[in-house]
Chain A
């Protein structure tokens, strides 16, 4: 059984701009995460878009009670 997980979506509009966090998608695998990110966040003419499984983000520091990424 495929488990759904959260992927964070990053994108940029030009090559001299840094990647920005634009949102997240829920998907059972990397292929679906790509398709969902591309179709959900297509409001800009991005030159690059990436997805990262939220579970792959290694937290270094968080001072609030709720971690920013929630993992």
Chain B
């Protein structure tokens, strides 16, 4: 596990050293494609963390053991904390109102990993979200550690520090369910494959123009294709030791994919999930 974190750090540092880079205290001086890329990437990470926080919170009372309940609650709080950090950046640099980002967008305007669009039906599904989806966002954060856009680079360290324990939790449960065999193992394989396919879709097509600009201008250390390969490698490496089959074919076509929605066929989180996330039911009790 420590080795996985160290590998992510080496990847971001090594690639950044090779970039002849300038630093940005604000968006001024960046190319238009890079500015759009930063905006879309921040939204994609914030939306994914928002949905992860929701699902972790939902499962707090459904975990197979007490320690996992406490862990799920803590994971949820951490993700919502990260959303606040990312929303603060979106507010300061793009004028996005954090309340509007949660309360006043349509489902198809969300850019989260699609695996989180629907209720997570069982514990193996939770583990796939925790290990595969959370890992993918953490891989992106690691690629931002030495970000040329300094306000973003300064925000990611805290998140990376906390994400270490999310990975421990995901890996530990992946191993536990794989070792149990039977239905648990089969469900784990199925959910992990779906989650990996969903992450591949979220990271987008090869050589995507905004992603290319982010790497060229030193915002991101590695492009999304390399990040996908790294996530697949991380998951396959553990799966192989346990005899779990997680091979998935990459999307055949990215027709219809945009960096603002990050889905091939459109769509977004279920209305009911957004209803609960927005606390609409509690709003009636709010003191004016």
A binding-site residues for B, Cβ under 8 Å: 1-2, 25-36, 38-40, 42
- Are A32 and B176 in contact, with the CB atoms below 8 A? yes
A18 to chain B, nearest CB (A): 24
- Are A35 and B172 in contact, with the CB atoms below 8 A? yes
A-B contact number at CB 8 A? 63
B187 to chain A, nearest CB (A): 16
Contact with A along B30-46 (1 / 0, CB 8 A): 00000000000000000
A-B contact pairs, 29 of them (CB 8 A): A1-B179, A1-B180, A2-B180, A26-B65, A27-B67, A27-B172, A28-B176, A28-B179, A29-B172, A29-B175, A30-B172, A31-B167, A31-B169, A32-B168, A32-B169, A34-B168, A35-B71, A35-B165, A35-B169, A35-B172, A36-B67, A36-B68, A36-B71, A38-B74, A38-B168, A39-B70, A39-B73, A40-B70, A42-B74
A31 to chain B, nearest CB (A): 4
Separation of A63 and B47 alpha carbons in the complex (Å):
57
Q: Closest 4 A-B residue pairs measured CB to CB?
A: A32-B172, A31-B172, A35-B169, A39-B74
B74 to chain A, nearest CB (A): 4
Separation of A8 and B56 alpha carbons in the complex (Å):
26
A32, A33, A42 interface centre (most CB from chain B within 10 Å): A32
Separation of A33 and B171 alpha carbons in the complex (Å):
11
* In the assembled complex, B173 has its CB within 8 A of some CB on chain A: yes
- Are B71 and A39 in contact, with the CB atoms below 8 A? yes
Separation of A42 and B73 alpha carbons in the complex (Å):
13
Residues of B with C-beta under 8 A to A32: 67, 168-169, 172-173, 176
Which of A2, A31, A42 makes the CB contact (< 8 A) with B1?
A31
Separation of A40 and B173 alpha carbons in the complex (Å):
17
Residues of A with C-beta under 8 A to B74: 38-39, 42
Separation of A35 and B168 alpha carbons in the complex (Å):
6
A16 to chain B, nearest CB (A): 23
Known contacts A2-B176, A42-B74; A31/B67 CB under 8 A: no
